[in-house]
Amino acid sequence: MVDYSAFRDGERDGWSSRANNYGDATARATLQTIPKLLDHARIFPSAKVLNAGCGPGYVAASAKLLGADVEGIDYSAGMVERAKTQFPEIKFSIADVEDLPMRDGTFDAVLCNIVLFHVTDPKRAMSETRRVLKHSSLRNRLNHSIYAYDFESGTTRTIMMRIADRKDNIKMGQTNEIDLAALSEIEYAVTDMANLNQEVWKHITAFDYPT
């Protein structure tokens, strides 16, 4: 069995020593791939994203600009410190892409930009990134408002419900009586909801989200 410890140590220490100079040369190449990487990842607002092998944090920062909830990890302490300095609003920590400390199914996307030839076992690295990805189709987690008639009081009410599919419970929320003004707005609300639903499914179709 080949001992890759010297290679691992060299990668960790070498990139730590070059972290502050990364933007002077290496970044000129690696920055060019970020737009295509994000395009393929189909990042959406509030998506939970891991930038594995984050280096000085450029990919993580780009994903954050798209609205993602992102964090970055790198094996090199110097790179992590550089990323923290450049992008203090993002969480960066030292970790190994071949042995990620995150739980299964944590992230909507894992981004690795020119990383695999820096690891000793690319197959294991890919397996780890797959492990921490959410393996699920598009889920509904929506607030719904239903209209109910109370026979005892003779009043019509709205009831808010939070529904998440693949769960066995529905949480009831705030209840309000409906007056004449509210009734007159229902038709407009239904029209707006229908239009919004069409727009949502346009995006789902355009970006080929799993359903």
Mean pLDDT is lowest, of 22-26, 31-35, 42-46, 65-69, for 22-26
Mean pLDDT confidence for 43-55? 91
pLDDT, position 170: 47
pLDDT, position 162: 44
pLDDT, position 7: 75
| pLDDT of 81 strictly over 90 | yes
Closest CA to 95 of 134, 45, 129, 139: 129
Residue with tokens 């949502």: 200
C-alpha distances (whole Å) from 86 to each of 56, 76, 90 are 8, 16, 9
C-alpha distances (whole Å) from 70 to each of 58, 91, 92, 130 are 12, 7, 9, 17
- For the chain, what is the mean pLDDT? 76
Percent of the chain whose predicted confidence (pLDDT) is above 90: 31
pLDDT in tens, 158-207: 554 444 444 444 455 555 565 666 556 655 655 665 565 566 666 666 76
